[in-house]
Structure 1
Amino acid sequence: MAWVILVIAGLLETAWAGLLKTAAAKPGPGIIALTVVLIAASMMALALAMRSLPVGIAYPVWTGIGSVGAVTIGWLFYGEAISLTTLAGLAFLVTGMVLLGLGGNH
């Protein structure tokens, strides 16, 4: 269950990163408030996952999900380019997250 919560935390991180980009371009109280709520929810879910998962696994996986998600959001919604170097970096991130999950104490 901790892994499911960790994935949810990572997806929430992806959501707030995307909203932060929107809030920077078009600031308003609603979008800023929603961004803050998503940040808090992401942190709370991460903390909940860390009850069962070691910090050395949970935190890197959380940031990795957020990184992959942020690049994807930037590409899909903001027209940001993805280079082959970026794709290679994402592949390394995903590989690292899988290895952390397989090698962790759980």
Structure 2
Amino acid sequence: MAIAGIILSASAAACAGLEKELRGRDGILDVKRTPDGADIGGLVVVVEQPSDKIQKELMALRELPEVDDLHLAFADYEDDLDAQGHMGCPAHESRCHAGAGDGESGEQAGETK
């Protein structure tokens, strides 16, 4: 299992509904509001999921309509490490963005015309 501590930034108006929604969600261990005056307002959330699923869960949380952004504060995969401290990596998912790469042509690094 992997565990992550995150902050979901959200407006004060959105926090009550979002907090209620998260408390009923599988794999959410704890939800608390950020302290008054915090640099990032929203909810502090502890997520526990199998290692091969936690990244998708974090992406799903970030895409909730009330969430402005997700900030990762802590992640631990220690239970999944082998005796040498290694673990398998998930398959690479390409993140192509227009305009990234050489800064002028919009080509991705490694692309040719």
TM-score under structure 2 normalisation? Answer: 0.24
Q: 1 or 2, which has the higher strand percentage?
A: 2
TM-score under structure 1 normalisation? Answer: 0.25
Pick the structure with greater CA Rg: 2
Q: 1 or 2, which has the higher helix percentage?
A: 1
